[in-house]
Structure 1
Amino acid sequence: MKLYYDFHIHTALSPCGDDSMTPNNIVNMALINELDAIAITDHNTAENLEAVMKVARGKDIIVIPGIEIETKEEIHVIGLFPNLQSVYNVQNIIYSKLPYIKNKPNVVGNQYVLNENDDIMKELDRFLLISTLLSLNEVIKLIKDNNGIAVPAHIDRPSYSILSNLGFIPDDLNTSILEISRFSNLDVYKKQYKDYQIIQSSDAHELGYIGITKNYLEVKEKNIESIFNIFN
């Protein structure tokens, strides 16, 4: 069966995410755009995941726990996980490896932690959109050690990507999945990187971009296990 996905969505917790990116707005926009599965991938944090998953309960959509980690080489890597505990384990390590810089909401945006009713529970004061002290290989290992799938993000972008910062895909990269942004042609990258699985997501920071890429995976069943089986 075809499973329409968007595996790169930010909430209002990411400083670059619009304040309208609340749990209810995200889930409802995904449903309006007939998505079957989404992943929440805030920058270096997973504190809004549980709220989004609670909103999605009883609705015909899968929410995959995720996080977008910035390596010390300033490469963004998405981690997708089978459950909340796995991503929380990763978040705890990321927080310990994230230099403390106080956020400036009037400059870079708010960082809201929300509940399932879209109420603001708190505002993180540590700036999230910075590099961790972990290398690319260390980040991928961290994700995999916690039962996750590691995906170098938006490799076609001129910044924060593996190609823009390294200039190539390392032979010893311990993952077989790459992501391109909504701006590129999926078929072109599939032909260029035949040894990898290429996915394309929205990297939505605003509601209007959720599901814009209209891509799907062929899965046996509509569940998280079937999705992970494709990538493993």
Structure 2
Amino acid sequence: MNGEHNQNERYDLHTHTRASDGMNSPAENVRLAKEKGLTGLAITDHDTVAGLQEAMEEGEKQGVIVVPGVEISTRAGGKDIHVLGYFLNFNNSVLLERLEGLRATRDARNELIIRKLQDLGIEITLDEVVAGLDRTLREDESLGRPHIADALVRKGYAADLRDAFDRYLGEGKPGYASLPRIAPEEAMDWIRDAGGVPVLAHPGLYGDDDLVSAILERGRPAGVEVYHSDHGPEDVERYLLLAERYGLIPTGGSDYHGVRQGVVFHGDLGSRHVSDKCVGLLKEAAGIK
């Protein structure tokens, strides 16, 4: 399942760069989108908009439409819930301040994960994780669990990224940690405050459709991510019906993070996409002519 409507114009509305936990620079994601024949893509890094300016500039050069986005980390029902935001003003000072606070929470979470891993007898430090980036981490960039997973693989504690999550870093695993976060509906308000359009990300990953419905009812986002690399055909069918029930825009994207240890995670860029109609509806919801 790749999306709907006019397949001549294709947009991948969920991609990550090294501004958070992706492997590529924002410009590289844009060039890859061009190579794959996409009309456009969204850059949706975790709790940061640091990669958007570079992506927008490269999009101008390549003739690729870049949708400015973000993916905000929230918590509800004992689960980590992600909220996507599109067409937001990424220079909005209030938004930047709020995202900075979220990154501080993420930093504290990372330190807790490292301590948990050390308590398991794993010799790892946060400095080693950062050193593995082979570059200086900017203040407005975000360090995530995939970076810690990379370090576990390099040090021989896991075979690959998936193994690191299955054994240590996934929800419910001994190295998992989560600190109090804002609620999904608050993140949706933040996105609207910055002129953007909120969308609930990958509902199939939460394993609780009652919780998903409750979030949609409370937060009233403009859309729900129906097409995602980890959604099978039954998930797509189920969330299309949910989108119809709540009058939401069915969006989609690959959740591309780049290639780690030879494996694309979650899916290859462009492997999930939507048409220009979906993008047009998001723009309309944002009040963009």
TM class by smaller structure: 0.7 to 0.9
Shift of the 11–105 alpha-carbon distance from structure 1 to 2, 3 Å rule, reads: farther
Q: Is the 2:75–2:183 contact (alpha carbons within 8 Å) kept by the matching residues of 1?
A: yes
- Give the number of the structure whose alpha-carbon radius of gyration is greater: 2
Please list, as runs of the form range in 1=range in 2, the aligned pairs for 1:32-71 lying within 5 A after superposition: 32-71=35-74
Q: Please, which runs of 5 or more residues in structure 2 have no aligned partner?
A: 1-5, 112-125, 146-177
* Alpha-carbon distance between aligned partners in 2 of 1:121 and 1:67, rounded to the nearest angstrom: 22
What amino acid sits opposite 2:44 in the alignment? Answer: T
Please list, as runs of the form range in 1=range in 2, the aligned pairs for 1:152-231 lying within 5 A after superposition: 152-158=200-206, 163=208, 166=211, 168-170=213-215, 171-180=217-226, 181-184=228-231, 185=233, 186-194=236-244, 195=246, 196-206=248-258, 209-218=268-277, 227-229=282-284
What amino acid sits opposite 2:271 in the alignment? Answer: I
Work out the percentage of aligned pairs sharing the same amino acid: 22
Please list, as runs of the form range in 1=range in 2, the aligned pairs for 1:74-223 lying within 5 A after superposition: 74-86=80-92, 89-97=94-102, 98-99=104-105, 100-101=107-108, 104=126, 106-107=128-129, 122-124=137-139, 127=143, 133-158=181-206, 163=208, 166=211, 168-170=213-215, 171-180=217-226, 181-184=228-231, 185=233, 186-194=236-244, 195=246, 196-206=248-258, 209-218=268-277
The C-alpha deviation readout for 1:120-175, integer Å capped at 9, x for no partner, is 5644486456667321111111111111010110111147xxx4693534423221
Q: Please, which runs of 5 or more residues in structure 1 have no aligned partner?
A: 113-119
Q: Is the 1:65–1:82 contact (alpha carbons within 8 Å) kept by the matching residues of 2?
A: yes
Instruction: Give the alignment's TM-score, normalised by structure 2.
Output: 0.62
Instruction: Give the alignment's TM-score, normalised by structure 1.
Output: 0.76
SS of the aligned residue for 1:156 comes to: helix
SS of the aligned residue for 1:215 comes to: coil
Larger strand share, 1 or 2: 1
SS of the aligned residue for 2:42 comes to: strand
* Alpha-carbon distance between aligned partners in 2 of 1:132 and 1:109, rounded to the nearest angstrom: 28
Shift of the 231–212 alpha-carbon distance from structure 1 to 2, 3 Å rule, reads: farther
Larger helix share, 1 or 2: 2
Deviation at 1:227, TM superposition (A): 4.8
Would you say how many aligned residue pairs link Structure 1 and Structure 2?
214
Q: Is the 1:39–1:66 contact (alpha carbons within 8 Å) kept by the matching residues of 2?
A: yes
Q: Is the 1:151–1:177 contact (alpha carbons within 8 Å) kept by the matching residues of 2?
A: yes
